[in-house]
Amino acid sequence: MKIAYTIVRILLGALFLFSSVVILFNLVEQPETTGNLKIFNDGIKASGYLMTLIKVTELVVAIAFLTGRFVLLASIVIAPIAINIFLVHLTIAPEGLPVGIFVVVANAFLAYVNWNVYKPLFVPVNK
């Protein structure tokens, strides 16, 4: 299980590192999008900050995954982004669905392996 955990962590880290660096440093020309995906992307760009925030978050998480430090925190931080990647590809751009599935399943696997650490987060606290 430890080997699988390390492989998944590194693959997920490499994916987020590549995707964030390419966008943040404009290393390749982005393909032209059409339809609802174009509207979605234009909305994110129109905010002026959201794409940068997402990509910087992905970069920090990628570094955490690749170095093996703060992996538990990084997995929680990236969860909403991973779910959004999956849902965007499920509903708007199905050609990227395999990547969306990988991101969600890989992050869920990291959480599953560390479930004993996460378990207290799901206990209701009465004050």
Q: Name the residue range of residue 116's domain.
A: 1-30+51-121
In a domain, 20, yes or no: yes
State residue 31's pLDDT score: 86
Residue with token string 């979605």: 40
Q: Residues 16-45: what's their mean pLDDT? A: 92
| H or E stretch at 8 | helix 2-24
The string of pLDDT tens digits covering residues 53-108 is 999 999 999 999 999 999 999 999 999 999 999 999 999 999 999 999 999 999 99
Confidence (pTM):
0.92
Number of domains in the chain: 1
In a domain, 39, yes or no: no
